[in-house]
Amino acid sequence: MTGSALAQSPPAGPSTADWDAAVAAVRALPADGRVLLICHVNPDGDALGSMLGCALGLRRIGVRQLQATFPGPPGVAEPFRGLPGLDLLVPAADTWTDPDLVLCFDAASVSRIGDLAGRLDSAGEVVVLDHHASNTRFGRINLVDPYAAATSVVVEGLLDRLDVPIDRDIAECLYVALTTDTGSFRFAMTTPAVHEMAARLLATGIRPEEISRRVFDTRPFGAVRLYGDVLGRAVLEPDAAGGNGLVWTQATLDDLARHGQPAYVLEALIDSVRCTEEADVSCVLKQVAGTEWAVSMRSKGAVDVSRVAVALGGGGHRLAAGFTGRGGAADVIAAIRAELDRVLAGS
Ligand code: AMP
Ligand code: MN
Ligand code: MN
């Protein structure tokens, strides 16, 4: 390995001292200690599944005062409405302002937890559980493993060290998280250890076919038609991204309104766009407000899209990243094209 490749390798996972500190933080809770669990805005399956699985695990070992939350509008998208532990969700504004312990899930930086960042200063202790290489280690204790396929891998590690028996409900949460971030065991992080973890979770009796159908394979007919419109306007730019090809499309608020659909139905759109054989990089621009776009980016390996996303104010992983774009769709895609060129020129 060359020096520069070494320099770019993400740091190793949590040290024994990190794990010990996190376990001690839980064990040191007073009898009625209040634990606030926070995951990132617009939570995906890893954020919610890791947070709720951990909350249920703590409940199993006698922690009674638990609140789980995330910034932004309360309520979870339809695919997650069957998750165990949803009774622990509390709207962000109603959470304890000075909990004894904060646990933060799947957020690479403090900006991902919005207004809840204030809770980090007033909490008795703060543990960050995450797997983004770009994690800024904003906790007082940081369990960050860039080699983990999902944050739920880190959660399982903590629950194991706390001697929490993994029951069916905890397993379902961790399984949703694991399948979300590995693309149902298709992505590069799908190691033997990932399948071994899946085997442990499945051994509790959870039903993978029911979970997958609910979380990944169900959407309203209106969303099927909406996908038709949005995929029909996809653009292929073979010369972009240094000749590796870029494919992109946009979904507007008008598209959602026309088909009577909520925004969450667009989360899986990138999976249909990224199939494009002729492009390494894929993007979906999802309109959030007039000139605000939630941008999803994927690469098949030629480009580190997290560098593009970070340069544009967001973050993510090497092959899956995102950011908030501002301006018209043409402005946002122009900024992406330019950043792709810059990143490729530097690598
Ligand atoms: P998504 O395309 O929404 O599935 O997001 C892919 C990955 O990009 C996520 O796992 C996050 O790590 C990251 N990500 C997405 N949006 C943002 C954002 N606005 N800021 C920081 N990271 C983001
Ligand atoms: Mn996430
Ligand atoms: Mn994740």
φ, ψ of residue 338 in degrees (nearest 5): -65, -40
- Residue 186's pLDDT is what? 96
E-strand ranges in 177-291 read 235-237, 246-251, 281-289
pLDDT of the residue at 65: 98
Residue 12: what pLDDT? 87
pLDDT given at position 11: 77
For each successive 10 residues of the chain (347 residues), what is the average pLDDT? 49 94 98 98 98 99 98 95 98 98 98 97 98 96 98 98 98 98 96 98 98 96 98 98 98 98 97 98 98 98 97 96 98 98 90
Ligand 2 center–CA 98 separation, angstroms: 25
Q: What is the C-alpha separation between 252 and 285, in angstroms, rounded? A: 8
Nearest CA residue ID for atom 13, ligand 1 = 316
- Residue 278's pLDDT is what? 98
Q: Which residues does ligand 1 sit against, CB inside 6 Å?
A: 112, 132, 270, 296, 314-317, 320-324
CA-nearest residue for atom 16, ligand 1, is 322
Q: How far is the CA of 243 from the centre of ligand 2 (A)?
A: 30
pLDDT of 346 reads 86
pLDDT number for residue 76:
96
> What ligand is nearest to the CA atom of residue 150?
3
Q: What is the pLDDT of residue 4?
A: 43
| Nearest protein CA to atom 6 of ligand 1, as residue | 321
Atom of ligand 1 nearest to the CA of 297: 2
Residue 329 has a pLDDT of 98
Distance 289 CA to ligand 2 centre (A): 22
Query: Which pLDDT score, from 0 to 100, does residue 5 have?
Result: 43
Pocket test for ligand 1, best of 44, 129, 293 (most atoms within 8 A of CB): 44
Neighbours of 220 (CB within 10 A): 14
Write down the pTM of the prediction. 0.96
